[in-house]
Amino acid sequence: QVQLVESGGGLVQAGGSLRLSCAASGRTFTNYRMGWFRQAPGKEREFVAAISWSGGSTYYGDSVKGRFTISIDNAKNTITLQMNSLKPEDTAVYYCAADRLARSSDIRNRYAYESWGQGTQVTVSS
C-alpha cells in the first residue's frame, strides 16, 4: 500500500518561497514517476511538476516553469517542491502523487496517478 504524506505548506507573502516535501512509503518505487498537482477552490486539479524516480527527468506546468523546482532524494524516499517567486494565483491545496506505469503520454494526466497524499494548503497573500 503506497502512502504519500505531504508537509511544508503555509501562508507566505507574494514574492516569497516555500518548500513542500512528500514522504513516500509502502513499496519499492523504482520506475515510478512522482508528481505534484494543485487544486484551488472551484477549479480542477492542475499539474504542477513531475519527476522520474531516478531524478533524471523533470517536467513542469507552464504556470510554474522557472519558479518551481522538483527534486528527489532516493535514499529518503522524499520528493521536494521548491517554490520561489510565489504569486497569489499559486494559492491552492498541493497534492503529491505516484504513477506506477509512468507512460510518456501521461505526465500531466492526473488520472494516470494511482496514489495520492492528503494534500497541504499553500496560501499566498498579495
Residue 73 CB neighbours (<10 A): 11
Count Cα atoms within 13 angstroms, Cβ side, for 32: 23
DSSP β-ladder status, 10-13 and 120-125: parallel
Please report the pLDDT score of residue 53 as a whole number. 93
What is d(CA 121, CA 100) in angstroms, rounded to the nearest whole number? Answer: 25
pLDDT along the chain (126 residues), means of 10: 96 98 94 97 97 95 98 96 98 97 92 97 97
Please report the pLDDT score of residue 13 as a whole number. 98
- Whether residue 95 contacts residue 39, with contact meaning beta carbons closer than 8 Å, is answered with yes
Please report the pLDDT score of residue 60 as a whole number. 98
